[in-house]
């Protein structure tokens, strides 16, 4: 019978050694079954694809473990029921798709911008292979850390998502109520996106840009009225959403107008001159600042300030955890080869250490000799992957134990990897465009490995609390990586073929940032003046006591993305004030409903891309005169705003419902 101790309770004494899981080691209920594996793979494909869409559009992702756990309980009950350990396997396998997708979309699309050699590596095989290698490396390198971080530090490292997910699994009899919230959000998100994007009944974005001749030239406030952004804002909360929106306000309502005002008095082209619009087609001369629109000004100047801010903020965030990094790495090295004598109980069995070592070496070898890989025949790059990979897997696994996966500074780790790699290349004389894809290959695999290691840690924490078998979870994670890698590569490539990565529809802000850093460092022509402005901006925020990463990311994103996220944060603040209590856990009504909004909106966005790619619909064209007024002038703008407020009201209403 399951142990009666509450799953999230800390150990009585002596660390994790006295903790008794929900299902004791002496019991062996059904766990690694075909139905659990199959459903986990299905959810991995679904959430992997939706994460690709969200990451390319917004540069943000959210954890999928809890909604998958809720859906697993709801789906398996009508199929004859399931054990808690089967449900845990479902969420373990399914969550791998989300974490690997996050690492992929943050880095791999940067190949498109690394001309001339980068685009040749941006194809289905290379995307899938990098996802495969990085994801498995993250799982394998986390195996020897499980005892050090999950077992020995139980009661010390909270692992918030992992503990909350365990609470959901234990409260499986409430799965119907929880699942209702997720399914409701998914349905409303999908319906909203279909009506606005596929049927194009109303505007998908509302806003205003001041004319260049006004007193506040090029000041821009746009709102993408998408359900997924609203859901993201609710999940991350009002504090982070507000700081992120503040970054957008600085870029689009402060720096843009200021640059435009000063540009009226600059009569020569102001470097750097962006190659995409280097010359005015009417005059044949380079654009002056006074001739540029807000999008051109952002691409030519503001994005470098944002890149500098993100660069500094990522490194500051990483350095803030330096004591944790050092201690985690020391513990990781010490426990890497540690074995245990005698027979191991069911809840102590991991993938054998020999498999971990051989598997890691084979993956490094694959990166070095794999056909047409960015790192092919560059053995130094493969060595750097192993070194940086183990280091940042250790760091990521520890950090998510303290602050959770959603706050894991993966971007900072990737930036640090790219900087160190590029500086080493420059020292060796490996400069220019030829080595840019190689540097990105190192950064991409490390980013994917670190992202998946963080999610793996949360899953193993859930398993430790409920009494799962570690080797089954670790094997399930490998299955989730391998299967989801195929759909991640397909979705990424298809989004590029239909919309073009880097366009307004799929801006891929994180990948664009990585490409900017690599090109600037290897070519040694980064506009350091603008970058240093961004760096000092982050330093200023830190001196004011504000964590700068969220602000920096907001300054780099379009304000059309950060504005609806801010609205989602405001909805959460309103709900918490009205109900009189904070939604501390990710198992609340609002968070579950928001997770459904994110998934529903993202999946419908992928369906929209398929319909456009097949030529069955034309993107963003009114379907007839009956709704034409919803696309025109002030009426269309007002209708879009009112409809978005209506969606926010629905979220607020659902968030106040009590789970039964």
How do residues 125-145 score in pLDDT, each as one tens digit?
A: 999 999 999 999 999 998 888
7 is a domain residue: no
106 is a domain residue: yes
Which pLDDT belongs to residue 173?
Answer: 47
Q: What is the pLDDT of residues 273-283, one digit of tens each?
A: 655 555 666 66
Residue 516 in tokens? 């900017």
Nearest to 45, CA basis, from 106, 111, 131: 131
Determine the straight-line distance between the first and last CA of the chain, rounded to whole angstroms.
24
Annotate 478-498 with DSSP letters as a single string: HHHHHHHHHHHHHHHHHHHHH
Nearest to 124, CA basis, from 111, 136, 113: 111
- Give the global pTM: 0.84
3 is a domain residue: no
Same domain, 33 and 75: yes
Q: Are 168 and 66 in contact (CB under 8 A)?
A: yes
Distance CA 150, CA 148 (A): 6
Give the rounded percent of residues in the chain with a pLDDT score beyond 90.
Answer: 43
Q: Which residues contact 645 (CB under 8 A, 6 or more apart)?
A: none
354 is a domain residue: yes
Same domain, 478 and 372: yes
530 is a domain residue: no
Q: Are 355 and 144 in contact (CB under 8 A)?
A: no
220 is a domain residue: yes
Reading phi first (left if > 0) and then psi (alpha if -120 to 50, else beta), residue 286 is in beta
Longest dimension (CA), the chain: 81
Strand partners, 208: 221
Distance CA 518, CA 539 (A): 22
Same domain, 549 and 497: no
Same domain, 488 and 349: yes
**Band of residue 620 on the pLDDT scale cut at 50, 70, 90:** low
Q: What is the pLDDT of residues 43-69, one digit of tens each?
A: 999 999 999 999 998 887 877 888 888
Residue 420 in tokens? 């160190």
In angstroms, the Cα distances linking 430 to 376, 421, 439 are 15, 11, 10
366 is a domain residue: yes
Q: What is the pLDDT of residues 582-618, one digit of tens each?
A: 765 556 888 889 888 988 888 898 998 888 888 887 7
Which pLDDT belongs to residue 176?
Answer: 54
Same domain, 461 and 597: no
Q: What is the pLDDT of residues 284-329, one digit of tens each?
A: 667 788 888 898 888 888 988 988 888 888 788 777 766 655 665 5
User: Under DSSP, is residue 65 helix (H, G, I), strand (E, B) or coil?
Assistant: helix
Q: Are 660 and 579 in contact (CB under 8 A)?
A: no
Number of domains in the chain: 2
- Whether the bond into 116 is cis, omega within 30 of 0: yes
Residue 656 in tokens? 């106040």
Same domain, 366 and 510: yes
- Whether the bond into 10 is cis, omega within 30 of 0: no
Same domain, 48 and 163: yes
Torsion of CA 12, 13, 18, 22, to 10 degrees: 30
Regarding predicted confidence, which is higher, 173 or 93?
93
Annotate 386-405 with DSSP letters as a single string: HHHHHHHHHHHHHHHHHH-G
Q: What is the pLDDT of residues 113-126, one digit of tens each?
A: 998 889 989 999 99
Which range marks the domain in which residue 273 is found? 185-294+541-655
Angle in degrees, CA 75, 81, 87, rounded to 5: 65
Backbone angles phi, psi at 315, to 5 degrees: -70, -35
Same domain, 169 and 199: no
pLDDT at 242 exceeding the cut of 90? yes
In angstroms, the Cα distances linking 486 to 15, 91, 198, 480, 566 are 40, 19, 26, 10, 34
Same domain, 436 and 546: no
Same domain, 597 and 498: no
In angstroms, the Cα distances linking 597 to 192, 425, 654 are 9, 44, 12
pLDDT at 15 exceeding the cut of 50? no
DSSP secondary structure code for residue 657 in this structure: S
Same domain, 125 and 256: no
Residue 414 in tokens? 């990737």
User: If you average pLDDT over every residue of the chain, what do you get?
Assistant: 85
Distance CA 247, CA 245 (A): 5
16 is a domain residue: no
| Cα atoms in the Cβ-side hemisphere of radius 13 Å centred on 502 | 18
Same domain, 344 and 461: yes
């Amino acid at each position: 019978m399951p142990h009666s101790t509450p799953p999230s309770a800390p150990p009585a004494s002596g660390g994790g050694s006295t903790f008794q899981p929900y299902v004791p080691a002496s019991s062996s209920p059904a766990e690694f079954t075909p139905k659990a594996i199959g459903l986990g793979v299905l959810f991995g494909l679904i959430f992997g694809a939706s994460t690709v869409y969200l990451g390319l559009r917004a540069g943000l992702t959210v954890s999928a473990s809890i909604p998958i756990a809720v859906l697993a309980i709801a789906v398996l009950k009508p199929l004859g029921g399931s054990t808690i350990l089967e449900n845990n396997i479902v969420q373990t396998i399914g969550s791998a798709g989300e974490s690997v997708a996050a690492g992929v979309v943050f880095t791999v699309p940067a190949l498109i911008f690394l001309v001339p050699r980068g685009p040749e590596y941006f194809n289905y095989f290379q995307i899938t292979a990098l996802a495969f290698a990085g994801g498995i490396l993250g799982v394998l390198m986390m195996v020897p850390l499980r005892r050090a971080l999950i077992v020995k530090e139980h009661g010390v490292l909270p692992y918030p998502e992992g503990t909350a997910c365990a609470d959901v699994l234990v409260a499986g009899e409430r799965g119907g109520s929880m699942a209702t919230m997720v399914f409701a959000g998914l349905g409303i998100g999908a319906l909203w996106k279909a009506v606005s994007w596929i049927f194009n009944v109303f505007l998908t974005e509302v806003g205003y840009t001041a004319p260049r001749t006004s007193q506040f030239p090029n000041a821009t406030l746009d709102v993408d009225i998408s359900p997924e952004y609203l859901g993201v804002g609710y999940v991350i909360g009002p504090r982070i959403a507000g700081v992120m929106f503040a970054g957008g306000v600085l870029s689009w309502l402060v720096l843009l107008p200021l640059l435009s005002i000063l540009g009226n008095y600059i009569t020569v082209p102001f470097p750097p001159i962006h190659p995409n619009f280097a010359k005015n087609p009417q005059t044949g001369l380079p654009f002056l600042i006074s001739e540029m629109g807000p999008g051109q000004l952002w691409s030519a100047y503001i994005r470098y300030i944002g890149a500098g801010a993100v660069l500094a903020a990522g490194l500051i965030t990483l350095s803030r955890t330096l004591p944790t990094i050092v201690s985690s790495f020391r513990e990781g090295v010490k426990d890497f080869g540690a074995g245990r004598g005698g027979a191991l109980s069911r809840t102590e069995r991991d993938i054998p250490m020999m498999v971990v070592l051989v598997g890691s070496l084979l993956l490094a070898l694959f990166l070095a000799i794999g056909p047409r890989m960015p790192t092919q025949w560059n053995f130094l790059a493969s060595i750097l992957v192993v070194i940086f990979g183990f280091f940042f897997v250790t760091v990521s696994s520890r950090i998510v134990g303290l602050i959770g996966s959603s706050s894991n500074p993966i971007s900072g780790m990737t930036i640090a990897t790219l900087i160190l790699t590029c500086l080493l290349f420059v020292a060796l004389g490996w400069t220019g465009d030829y080595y840019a894809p190689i540097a990105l290959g190192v950064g991409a695999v490390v980013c994917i490995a670190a992202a998946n290691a963080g999610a793996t840690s949360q899953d193993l924490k859930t398993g430790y609390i409920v009494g799962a078998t570690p080797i089954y979870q670790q094997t399930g994670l490998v299955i989730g990586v391998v299967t989801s890698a195929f759909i991640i590569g397909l979705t990424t490539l298809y989004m590029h073929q239909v919309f073009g990565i880097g366009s307004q529809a799929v801006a891929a802000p994180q990948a664009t940032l990585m490409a900017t850093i690599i090109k600037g460092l290897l070519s040694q022509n980064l506009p350091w003046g603008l970058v240093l402005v961004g760096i000092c901006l982050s330093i200023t925020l830190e001196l004011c006591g504000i964590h700068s990463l969220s602000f920096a990311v907001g300054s780099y994103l379009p304000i059309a993305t950060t504005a609806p996220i801010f609205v989602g944060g405001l909805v959460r603040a309103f709900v918490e004030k009205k109900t009189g209590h904070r939604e501390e856990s990710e198992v609340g009504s609002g968070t579950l409903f928001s997770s459904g909004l994110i998934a529903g909106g993202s999946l419908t966005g992928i369906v929209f891309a398929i319909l456009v790619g097949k030529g069955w619909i034309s993107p963003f064209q009114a379907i007839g005169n009956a709704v034409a007024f919803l696309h025109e002038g002030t009426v269309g703008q007002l209708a879009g705003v009112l409809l978005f407020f209506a969606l926010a009201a629905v979220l607020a209403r659902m968030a106040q419902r009590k789970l039964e």
